[in-house]
Structure 1
């Protein structure tokens, strides 16, 4: 048996959200939905095509793509301090969700991410190869290319 889903009890979820806000992990609105508006945190989310805030581009250490389906990364190379970069999909692979990129030129910005430890490109269509600069990421421990 392979477990690939988990449903959290609503009371436990509420408590986890409160703890996440207290620790400045992520910010949630009054309905309990994740928002990308959180100053004071070195984490950020890509939600509903909102752009990454300019003041966060250099200081962000963790970036999760929550709901972007079409990625546009003209600011990607400015992310010099990022350690966790999850650009791929969060949904189950069996639900046929995918993320599209116009081209893979944004991947050349990886060369500036010397602190990167986790890179997930899960489910991003159009990625056929990675740039040679990925070999320079000395701290990279996890590279997720499933369903690319």
Structure 2
């Protein structure tokens, strides 16, 4: 444990914060790299460089943690070797829980189980009991749903009292037992929100006009959209482009005002009909560094 502590002590301060995020994941869990780096960017743990896109630097951080044997790779992408998923050895996880508790990064009991309290800054839910244990906490910075099991929600749940989160990740859960209108009304009020992942929410068909209030939003991951007013958005993944008669997706023309966009991943189905006048939209996105197009057939 002493050698692991030394490895932690030698990390730059922001990389230490990134490592402590692993403490919130269940033991032996396989952790998606994109979920991690979105969290890091949303909380401001990444100190940007003009030469890097929004997502390049956090992946560099992850690679550094891997090279120091603090994180283990589970899967790598074939074409560039970047970590696709990872996990943490039990001993390293024990260390991160100890430090996270001592530094107030997150609250744990003596058995290393997360216990929400008035000091909590980050919450991860693995079951319904975690949700019921919450009380009003206005200082939460990150909320992550770690389970796909159905969880009962209503408009009176304590989560809706959180006022200033920077990160919300519901990618693991369909949120089938929640009123989507209540959820979106709450999200639209979160002025400091920087990273939002709703890709798992099966009932979400479109975003309300009020979502445009999220002026600090940098990362948005969705299944269905309506996002033209999010002018500060830097990364957009899972964008479903559709034809003019299809109301369940987004037109390419809606992206023309997203001038800060650096990473764009879009899905195109065989029903697509991209108008000729829309083809010039991408030329206006001067900050765009990464473009991924997936054909749905």
Whole-angstrom distance in 2 between the partners of 1:52 and 1:119: 23
TM-score, length-normalised on structure 1?
0.75
Match of 1:12 among 74, 85, 92: 92
| Cα drift, residue 78 of structure 1 | 3.3
Where do 1:49-128 residues align within 5 Å? 49=128, 50-51=131-132, 53-56=134-137, 58-67=138-147, 69-70=150-151, 72-75=153-156, 77-89=160-172, 98-102=173-177, 103-105=179-181, 106-128=183-205
Report if the CA contact (8 A) 1:70-1:99 is conserved.
Answer: no
Report if the CA contact (8 A) 1:64-1:85 is conserved.
Answer: yes
Considering Cα pairs closer than 8 Å and 6+ residues apart, tell me whether 1 or 2 has the greater RCO.
1
Whole-angstrom distance in 1 between the partners of 2:168 and 2:96: 22
Q: 1:132 to 1:38 in 2, by over 3 A?
A: same
Q: 1:13 to 1:7 in 2, by over 3 A?
A: same
Report if the CA contact (8 A) 2:120-2:139 is conserved.
Answer: no
Residue 44 of structure 1 aligns with which residue?
123
Segments of 5+ residues of structure 1 without an aligned counterpart are: 90-97
TM-score, length-normalised on structure 2?
0.41
Which has a greater percent of helix?
Answer: 2
Moved more, 37-46 or 128-137: 37-46
1:76-97, CA deviations, whole angstroms, 9 ceiling, x for partnerless residues?
A: 55332121112221xxxxxxxx
Greater Rg by CA: 2
Total equivalences in the alignment: 138
CA RMSD of aligned residues (A): 2.7
